[in-house]
Amino acid sequence: MSALTQSFILHFGEMGSKWGFNRTVGQILGLMIITEEMINAEQIAKTLSISRGNVSMALKELQSWRLVKTVHIQGDRKEYYTGIGDIWTMAFTVMEERRKREVEPTLTALRDVLLAEATDDKDKYAQQRVKELHDLLEQASVWSDEFQKMDAKNLQRLVKLGTGVGKVISIKDKLRKK
């Protein structure tokens, strides 16, 4: 493995742990991103100097995140792996999975709090704040849904609107007037 690859993968491992998965999972994902060919579990273990068992667990995790594809190569009994699509698709897949795993359960918990009987003023205040939080997260989910429906090309166009976020609001007003 070249020094360039090495440093990327090490950093990506750390980065991974910030994004919801552990170091090993991050490193494998990083390896797949910068490797054009498909790779098998054995190669991964050797390249990253980790145990075969660990690779198995990590691949399972990556599959649950819908970030890797499995492929069978003619005349080889091993399973081969590669990352799904391009970087944009991956990034939005990670976002969507995080929403499912983090926001969804939180929304459920918040709804429970909202359904509970608020007797005193303190509870009423608490419930109102929880309502605000709930609405915010629900709105975020709406966005995420919309993104999910778009393809990589359009996602890219939308995100590159970036420098005009301010404008978007005034556009909204214009739309309303139609």
Partner DNA sequence: CTGAACTTTCAGTATTTATTGAAAGTTTAA
Partner DNA sequence: TTAAACTTTCAATAAATACTGAAAGTTCAG
Binding site for its own copies (CB under 8 A): 2-5, 7-8, 11, 15, 18-20, 33-36, 86-88, 91, 101-102, 106, 109-110, 112-113, 116, 118-120, 122-123, 125-127, 129-130, 132-133, 136, 139-140, 142-143, 146-147, 149-150, 154, 157-169, 171-172, 175
Nearer to DNA by C-beta: 60 or 129?
60
* The entry of its own copies, DNA, none that residue 76 binds, CB within 5 to 8 Å by partner kind: DNA
Total residues contacting DNA by CB under 7 A comes to 22
* The entry of its own copies, DNA, none that residue 50 binds, CB within 5 to 8 Å by partner kind: DNA
Nearer to its own copies by C-beta: 72 or 114?
114
* The entry of DNA, its own copies, none that residue 51 binds, CB within 5 to 8 Å by partner kind: DNA
Query: Token pair for residue 51?
Result: 């145990």
* The entry of its own copies, DNA, none that residue 178 binds, CB within 5 to 8 Å by partner kind: none
Q: Which of 8, 92, 82 is nearest to 41 (CA)?
A: 82
Task: Give the number of other Cβ atoms within 10 Å of residue 29's Cβ.
Answer: 25
* The entry of DNA, its own copies, none that residue 94 binds, CB within 5 to 8 Å by partner kind: none
Strand-pairing partners, residue 68, are 83
Residue 40: enclosing H or E segment and its boundaries? strand 39-40
Residue 70: enclosing H or E segment and its boundaries? strand 68-72
Task: Give the number of other Cβ atoms within 10 Å of residue 166's Cβ.
Answer: 7
Residues 43-72 that bind DNA (CB under 7 A): 49-54, 56-60
What is the rounded CA–CA span in Å between residue 24 and residue 31? Answer: 10
What is the rounded CA–CA span in Å between residue 58 and residue 118? Answer: 44
Query: Token pair for residue 21?
Result: 């998965």
